[in-house]
């Protein structure tokens, strides 16, 4: 039997063939020093008694797998990693805390998590390049890696739509950054999937052209890039046929070996292809001995109805827990800071209600330069309002969750969304920047796609009754600004009112969480101006991140993909959240669709529609000037 042909041998068979090789594997009979890393694991095993002989290096690898299987059968538990620590072996929140109900998941200490019949005996030890359509081999370098790298759960990540803008511009660099920083297992397998006829080498060239080394640690970056690229494979396949996904599955199995093997599929394809891709992954490429998670890009449907259909399709193939609906803007520090500020400081939470908060403003204003980077053609309500803005409001306004567990947070977010009043079209100002012929950024706009929306929302619950949540989201504007402003009420009977000046609003306390420009947390307070007399000034207590921290901020895709690996879904929308969010926006979307409501035109690079200023005034909110 050749060891270079790349097929599967039943494990039981492999374990009973006469073993005459130079490979010696030793089995531990007692384990007193756990947790240990797998590297220690192997060395500690060397002193133990049971020796198995195998034939050649591949068989050696095979029995290293056998060792792990036996260790796992003996309930040996390896050391756990804490979140946000670089890992060599992946265990996730869900794995540590309970038996996941995700398909294919079995408890890590159980013998059942290794499928003996799927042991790889051998494979074609040539380079990773292959012709599209071949059943490809994995590289020698890769396999060599397998023999000396700890084999906990392995991880394969497939990017479906690998030739696209998002995959090239964001996902691949984020994966490399995670790999570089040690957040992916050394033996991770990265797969690109698309319809184009490419080879592994082609994909590697595409990816290589987008990779950069992080500013704060560039050591061995070239080596790391080479290692990363050597673990990258291309699969050519259609989105609407199962054959391609079966080949992807086969190829993943080749490198997964015998230990538990987890899989992530990043569905980076346009909406038209999403359901086909999800169904084929669901049927043909789910992990058989570990968890499978899919990452779905926004927009999550186009309205309540289409989103419901999409959700049903996804749920027909995957459990809710397997689905990660990503909105990269939620991977910013700003968003995590919302809850950190509220729930880990005493000073804010007692004031976090209608008694003390006068209004909340959520502003996402993209400048001309930013707008040219990416625009989608879905309109800003579907693109940014539905997920980013409503998730921000949900996190800001939710009741304290029982814990930081994703489901606990999502339970609270969905309550806020379901308590939010449907947006009255009279409380929404739609704008579109003026097109000028030949302007590339306008080519994607259809006549009624808004590029701007200002809106006033109300949350009808005890905490927020009557507090306006003002939203301003737009592209092609004068300034780039992403911030959340929480404006507090006036001090009742303020004895300093004469010293503040006639405009009492100038003396209003405000908490500002700023993402762009210059990430910062600011608190606007009143203080005395130095000198004789008593004059008050409104100043800002300013935590400017770039002054306080010198470390580079990871890209939001990096943050969120790391969360997916970790099984932390609190920043990803659950199906009920998606539905509740559409329900809030439905009246406006229906109005646009039914009546082809023309948005108010504004200058590209201007301040947006003037109607927004009136909306702010109507709800008693002073405009935070651009
Ligand atoms: N680009 C970005 O910054 C952002 C993107 N998104 C979302 O991410 C997803 C991917 O975005 P992006 O990479 O820009 O998309 P692309 O339009 O670049 O498409 C990605 C890949 O999908 C394949 N594809 C394109 N059109 C179709 C089609 N009609 N049917 C089937 N396959 C198709 C192509 O691969 P091939 O032809 O090789 O098979 C293409 O390279 C989209 O859902 C988008 O809404 C969300 C936020 C930001
Ligand atoms: O998801 C999106 O984000 C971009 C802004 O991304 P950023 O990383 O540059 O902040 C936005 O332009 C685009 O419309 C939206 O779909």
DSSP string, 186-241: TT-EEEEEESS---HHHHHHHHHTT----TT--TTHHHHHHHHHHTEEEEE--SS-
Closest CA relative to residue 607, chosen from 472, 487, 437: 472
Pocket test for ligand 1, best of 158, 161, 555 (most atoms within 8 A of CB): 161
Reduced to 3 states (helix: H, G, I; strand: E, B; else coil), residue 84 is: coil
Which residue is closest in CA terms to ligand 1's atom 40?
Answer: 164
Tell me phi and psi for residue 480, to 5 degrees: -95, 120
Q: Is 297's C-beta closer than 6 angstroms to any atom of ligand 1?
A: yes
Q: How far apart are CA 90 and CA 511, in angstroms?
A: 38
The residue ranges of every structural domain in the chain are 8-297, 329-618
Residue nearest to ligand 1 atom 44, measured at CA:
270
Model pLDDT for residues 38-57, shown as the tens digit of each residue: 222 223 332 332 222 222 33
Distance of CA 378 to the CA centre of its chain: 21
Distance 160 CA to ligand 1 centre (A): 9
Q: Is residue 165 very low, low, confident or very high in pLDDT (cuts 50, 70, 90)?
A: very high
Nearest-angstrom CA–CA distance, 284 and 498: 72
More confident residue, 13 or 590: 590
Between 210 and 401, the more confident residue is 401
The CATH-assigned architecture of domain 8-297 is 3-Layer(aba) Sandwich (3.40)
What is the radius of gyration, based on Cα positions, of the chain?
Answer: 27
Q: Which ligand is nearest to the CA of 169?
A: 1
Does the C-beta of 270 come closer than 6 Å to ligand 1? yes
Quick check: CB of 298 below 6 Å from ligand 1? Answer: yes
Which ligand 2 atom sits closest to the C-alpha of 383?
16
Q: What pLDDT does 128 receive?
A: 36
Q: Is the pLDDT of residue 440 over 70?
A: no
What pLDDT is recorded for position 502?
62
Q: Ligand 2 centroid vs 66 CA: distance in angstroms?
A: 47
Q: How far is the CA of 217 from the centre of ligand 2 (A)?
A: 27
Alpha helices in 46-198 (DSSP H): 56-73, 93-97, 140-148, 165-166, 172-180
| 75 vs 334 pLDDT, higher one | 334
What ipTM does the predicted assembly reach? 0.97
pLDDT digits (tens, 9 = 90+) for 180-228: 989 998 889 999 999 999 999 999 999 999 888 765 566 778 888 999 9
Across 107-121, 196-210, 394-408, 589-603, least confident range: 107-121
For 619, counting Cβ atoms within 10 Å of its Cβ (0-12 exposed, 13-18 middle, 19+ buried), the class is middle
Computed over every residue of the chain, the mean pLDDT equals 78
Selection from 180, 184, 185, 182 nearest residue 219 by Cα: 180
Q: Which ligand is nearest to the CA of 388?
A: 2
Atom 5 of ligand 1: nearest residue by CA position: 166
327 Cα to the center of ligand 2, angstroms = 9
Q: Which of 103-107, 186-190, 385-389 has the highest mean pLDDT?
A: 385-389
Per residue in 263-293, pLDDT (tens digit) is: 999 999 999 999 999 999 999 999 999 999 9
pLDDT of the residue at 60: 31
Ligand 1 centroid distance, CA of 167 (Å) = 8
- Distance between CA atoms of residues 285 and 146, nearest Å: 22
The span from the CA of 485 to the CA of 397, in Å, is: 13
Shortest-distance Cα residue to atom 43 of ligand 1: 270
Give the SS3 label for residue 537. Answer: strand
Residues contacting residue 296 through CB under 8 Å, at least 6 positions apart: 267, 274, 278, 314, 323, 324, 325, 326
Q: Which segment, 10-14, 177-181, 500-504, is predicted with the most confidence on average?
A: 177-181
Tell me, yes or no, if the pTM score tops 0.90.
no
Note the CATH architecture for domain 329-618: 2-Layer Sandwich (3.30)
Q: Is residue 602 in contact with ligand 1, taking CB distance under 6 Å?
A: no
Catalytic residues: 388
Give the model's confidence band at 437: pLDDT under 50 very low, under 70 low, under 90 confident, else very high.
low
Strands 428-433, 189-194: pairing kind: unpaired
Smallest CA separation from ligand 1 atom 37, residue: 195
The pLDDT score that the predictor gives to residue 74 is 36
Please give the residue that has the higher pLDDT: either 307 or 147.
307
Examine the pLDDT at 93 and tell me if it is beyond 50.
no
pLDDT tens for residues 506-548? Answer: 778 999 999 999 999 999 999 999 999 888 888 999 999 999 9
Query: What is the reported pLDDT for 137?
Result: 46
Neighbours of 465 (CB within 10 A): 12
CA-proximal residue: ligand 2, atom 16 (nearest): 383
What percent of the chain stands above pLDDT 70? 71
Strands 261-267 vs 292-297: parallel, antiparallel or unpaired: parallel
Instruction: Report the atom number in ligand 1 closest to the C-alpha of 328.
Output: 47
Q: Which of 8-17, 145-154, 178-187 has the lowest mean pLDDT?
A: 8-17
């Amino acid at each position: 039997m050749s060891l270079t042909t790349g097929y599967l041998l039943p494990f039981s068979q492999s374990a009973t063939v006469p073993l005459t090789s130079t490979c010696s594997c030793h089995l531990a009979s007692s384990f007193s020093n756990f947790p240990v890393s797998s590297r220690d694991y192997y060395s500690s095993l060397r002193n133990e008694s049971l020796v198995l002989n195998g034939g050649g290096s591949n068989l050696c690898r095979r029995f290293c797998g056998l060792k792990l299987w036996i260790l796992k059968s003996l309930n040996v538990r390896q050391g756990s990693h804490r979140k946000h620590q670089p890992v060599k072996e992946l265990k996730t929140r869900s794995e540590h805390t309970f038996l996941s109900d995700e398909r294919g998941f079995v408890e890590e200490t159980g013998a059942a998590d290794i499928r003996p019949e799927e042991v790889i005996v051998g494979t074609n030890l040539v380079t990773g390049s292959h012709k599209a359509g071949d059943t490809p081999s994995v590289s020698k370098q890769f396999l060599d890696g397998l023999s000396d790298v700890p084999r906990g759960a392995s991880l394969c990540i497939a990017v479906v739509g690998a030739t696209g803008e998002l995959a090239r511009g964001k996902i691949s660099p984020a994966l490399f950054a995670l790999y570089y920083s040690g957040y992916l297992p050394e033996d991770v397998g990265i797969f690109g999937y698309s319809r184009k006829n490419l080879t592994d080498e082609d994909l590697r060239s595409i990816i290589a052209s987008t990779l950069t080394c992080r500013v704060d640690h560039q050591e061995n970056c070239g080596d790391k890039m080479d290692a990363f690229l050597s673990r990258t494979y291309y699969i050519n396949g259609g989105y609407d046929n199962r054959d391609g996904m079966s080949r992807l599955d086969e190829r993943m199995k080749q490198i997964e070996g015998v230990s538990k093997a987890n899989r992530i599929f990043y569905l980076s394809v346009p909406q038209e292809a999403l359901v086909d891709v999800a169904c084929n992954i669901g049927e043909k490429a789910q992990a058989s001995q570990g968890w499978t998670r899919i990452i779905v890009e926004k927009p999550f449907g186009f309205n309540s109805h289409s989103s419901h259909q999409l959700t049903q399709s996804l749920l027909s193939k995957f459990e809710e827990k397997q689905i990660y609906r990503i909105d990269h803007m939620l991977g910013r520090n700003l968003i995590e800071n919302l809850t950190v500020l509220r729930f880990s400081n005493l000073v804010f939470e007692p004031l976090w209600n209608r008694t003390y908060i006068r209004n909340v403003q959520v502003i996402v204003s993209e400048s001309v330069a930013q707008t040219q980077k990416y625009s989608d053609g879905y309109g800003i309500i579907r693109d940014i309002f539905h997920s980013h803005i409503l998730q921000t409001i949900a996190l800001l306004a939710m009741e304290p969750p029982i814990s930081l567990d994703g489901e606990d947070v999502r339970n609270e977010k969905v309550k806020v969304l379901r308590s939010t009043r449907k947006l009255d079209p009279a409380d929404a100002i739609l704008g579109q920047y003026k097109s000028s012929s030949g302007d590339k950024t306008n080519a994607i706009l259809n006549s009624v796609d808004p590029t701007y929306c200002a809106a006033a929302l109300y949350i009808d619950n005890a905490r927020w009754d009557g507090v306006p949540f003002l939203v301003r989201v737009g592209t092609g504007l004068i300034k780039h600004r992403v911030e959340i402003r929480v404006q507090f009420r006036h001090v009742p009977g303020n004895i300093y009112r004469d010293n503040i000046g006639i405009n009492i609003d100038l003396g209003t306390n405000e908490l500002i969480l700023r993402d762009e420009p210059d990430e910062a947390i600011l608190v606007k307070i009143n203080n005395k101006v130095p000198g004789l007399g008593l004059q008050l000034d409104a100043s800002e207590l300013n935590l400017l991140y770039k002054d306080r921290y010198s470390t580079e901020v990871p890209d939001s895709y990096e943050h969120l993909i790391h969360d997916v690996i970790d099984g932390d879904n609190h920043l990803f929308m659950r199906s009920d959240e998606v539905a509740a969010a559409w329900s809030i926006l439905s009246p406006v979307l229906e109005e646009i669709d039914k009546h082809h409501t023309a948005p108010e035109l504004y200058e590209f690079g201007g301040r947006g529609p003037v109607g927004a200023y009136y909306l702010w005034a109507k709800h008693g909110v002073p405009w935070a000037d651009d």
